[in-house]
Every structure is written in structure tokens, then in C-alpha cells.
Amino acid sequence: MTRLAVFDCDGTLVDGQAPVIAAMAAAFASLALPAPDPQAVRRSVGLSLPQAMRLLLPEADGALHAAASEAYKHAFRAARAAGTIEEPLFAGIAPLLERLARAGWLLGIATGKSARGLAHCLAAQGIDRHFMTLQTADHHPSKPHPAMLEAALAEAMAAPDEAVMIGDTRYDMAMARAAGVRAIGVAWGYHEARELREAGAEAVAEDPARLEVLLA
């Protein structure tokens, strides 16, 4: 029987909030907009950029959302070129991935990052070899639409009841439910455990060791 574990990236595998908040502030400044509240930015992590901008600029029109999205991309690329991007793995993630792979799990990622950004992140942390399916925001509708998970299932040749989505936001949990797969939340990310359960998480892991138990 196939076993597929699909992970979110930011807030689940890596702590990428600092560069996201910095790039968002730079993007807003370039458009002469006040810096967004960092907590609001944290809560937007996981959405694709247009959806994140709609959350952060609810009174703005589509043209400004598009301009802000492009400004964010430019700011993030500039920070990466300058070598200032830090997206450290959360403690315990690297050995967890090793053990899951040895146990026969197929591993994937479904993320609001771009394919380019995800590739940089995984390679920098030395974990890219673990993942056989990578689903990103530039190829799919934003979470919680199930398209990313549906594509991961197809690539892994797995049925929904053979898969689990692991993430730190309510968008991840809602996406899992929409795709008909198990949803497990993690408590070390950007949304509270209560929100994850309300969005459909069957359980919320306090740390990677507990996550491994829940996957057993």
C-alpha cells in the first residue's frame, strides 16, 4: 500500500517568516504604502501572492494587488541575490524526513512558494532529495483549493485514503479536507492549534516526534 505524506513548507518544514515579513515591508514601501502588520503577514503565509495581497489590502483593487505581488517578488529575489534569506529547518525536521523515507513513505510538498523559491529553499537545507512531488503556487490555484494535493496524488499514484497533508495553517487543513485526505496540523507554525482543528485537522502535533507517532 502506498503511503504519501505531503508537507507544507513555510511554518511546517522551515521558519521562513522573517524574509517574508521583510520582503512584504519592502514591497509595500516601494508602492508608498504603510508597512503591513507582521502578524497579518504571518497569517497570510501559505496563500499564493494574489490571495495574500487581498488579505493584506482588503480595500485595494486588483491592479494594486497585482502590483504589490510583483513588488514582493522583486524584493524577495533581491534579498536572495544579496544572500540575506534565512529559512532554517525547524528542530527535528531533518531526522523525521530521513526516518519517514526509510520507512517507505513517499514524500511531497504543497506550498504557496513559487517553484523557484521552493527549489532554492530545499537545496539550501539539503532536503530536496527526499521529495518526489513538488506542488507550488505558480502552477495551481491558491490553497485551500485541492488542486495541489490532487496533482500530488496523481504523481505518486496514491489514493486519497493513502495520503496525509501536514501543515501549520487552516488553509492546509481545508485543502486536505477538500481533497479527501487526512489532515494533521503542526503547532510550531503560524496558526493556532484551535484554528487547525476547526479547519479539519484530526490532530495537531506539538513537535516532530509527536508527528511521527501520529503518522505511524
The CATH architecture to which 4-15+87-215 belongs is: 3-Layer(aba) Sandwich (3.40)
Per-residue pLDDT of the chain (216 residues; tens, 9 = 90+): 789 999 999 999 999 899 999 999 999 999 999 999 999 999 999 888 999 999 999 999 999 999 999 999 999 999 999 999 999 999 999 999 999 999 999 999 999 999 999 999 999 999 999 999 999 999 999 999 999 999 999 999 999 999 999 999 999 999 999 999 999 999 999 999 999 999 999 999 999 999 999 998
Query: Distance (Å, rounded) from C-alpha 158 to C-alpha 155?
Result: 8
Q: Domain-by-domain residue ranges, the chain?
A: 4-15+87-215, 17-81
Q: Which residues, in sequence order, are CB contacts of 129 under 8 Å at separation 6+?
A: none
The pLDDT assigned to 15 comes to 96
- Coil vs helix vs strand at 86: coil
Which cell numbers hold the place of 180?
Answer: 479527501
Question: How much is the pTM?
Answer: 0.92
